Every structure is written in C-alpha cells, then in structure tokens.
Amino acid sequence: MLAPEADIILACHHQRQKNNINYTLRWVKGHQDNDKPNNELDCDVKINQAIDLMAKEECKEGHTTEIQPYEGSGAMLRINGKWITTSCHEHILEAVMSKRHQQFFQNKYNGEGGWISKSQEDYNKISWQGIDIARKTLTTREHVRIMKLLNGWLDTGRQKGLFGQTR
C-alpha cells in the first residue's frame, strides 16, 4: 500500500462497509483533459477533472483546519507528516531514536578515535529491524558477549577465540 494514500484507502473501505455501499474503487488517469476535448472525455474523467478543480479552489480559498485522520482509516498518530496506521511502536521508536542513533554511529566510526571509516550510505544499508529481530532470540549472556566484542572489550584470549579473533 502506498504510504501517502493508505489512510484514504482504508477510510474508503471503512465507509464502504459501514454504509453498505456497492462500488468499485479504481484509479483514473489524471489530466486526460489536456490531450482530448471535453466532449470526448468519459464520465469518470469528467468527475476527476471536476474534483481537481474543486481541490485547487479549496487550496486557494479554503479554511485551514487541524488535520485529522480519515474516519475508519485506523490512523493513530502523525509522525513527520505521515499517518501511522500499524506498527505504531516501531514508528515512534524510529522517530525518537533515528537521528541520535545516526549521530552515535558517525561519531563512533568516523569521529575521534574511530577505527573504521563508515558513511551515511553504510548506515542506511544496515538492516536495523533485522538486527532487532535477531537480538530477540539471544540470551542476556549472548547480548553481553556480543556487546563486548563490538566494543573491543573482550578481556581474554579464550573469549576472543570464540568470536574468531586472534588471542
């Protein structure tokens, strides 16, 4: 589902079920009136053209209101201009942590004392959600050992050997 239209599509489905309306929701190519004269356009295209004109008029002359989700869309909150309909906890965490996490990553690997050169592109290639899923299967002891490995804190040769490092 396309993110910008998701709440509209969900709201259409909700209204369809709520009001027992029988219709087919389909896409109509826009701006067909640019290529054909008005008398050659079918009814759906004329309706689309009229809605475009009304939308432009509303943008110019309409009243600004607080943006609310469409009824029945299931949207719970809005983050960075996007209505969140599912996985709200993940979206909240991403909105709160993403910028700070990127800064930490850049400072750790490119900042003072950084031992590996990493770019923003490298950061974007990492599947952070995949890492989170994998971490949920680990025990606390495994979490601690991996954290020590990643930060160079393994204190004995035996432990380093378990992770393939030289003693």
Chain centre to alpha carbon of residue 15: 25
Contact 110, 47 (CB under 8 A): no
Structure confidence by residue, pLDDT tens digits, 74-89 = 777 887 777 887 777 7
Q: Is the pLDDT of residue 1 over 60?
A: no
User: Cα separation of 131 and 146, whole Å?
Assistant: 12
Structure confidence by residue, pLDDT tens digits, 135-145 = 889 998 888 88
DSSP secondary structure, 97-146, as one string? HHHHHHHHHHHHHHSTT--S---HHHHHHS-HHHHHHHHTTS-HHHHHHH
Full-model pTM: 0.36
Tell me, what's the pLDDT at 60? 84
pLDDT band at 129 (very low <50, low <70, confident <90, very high): confident
> Facing residues of 77 across strands?
84
Nearest to 83 by CA among 75, 91, 94, 71: 75
Tell me, what's the pLDDT at 47? 85
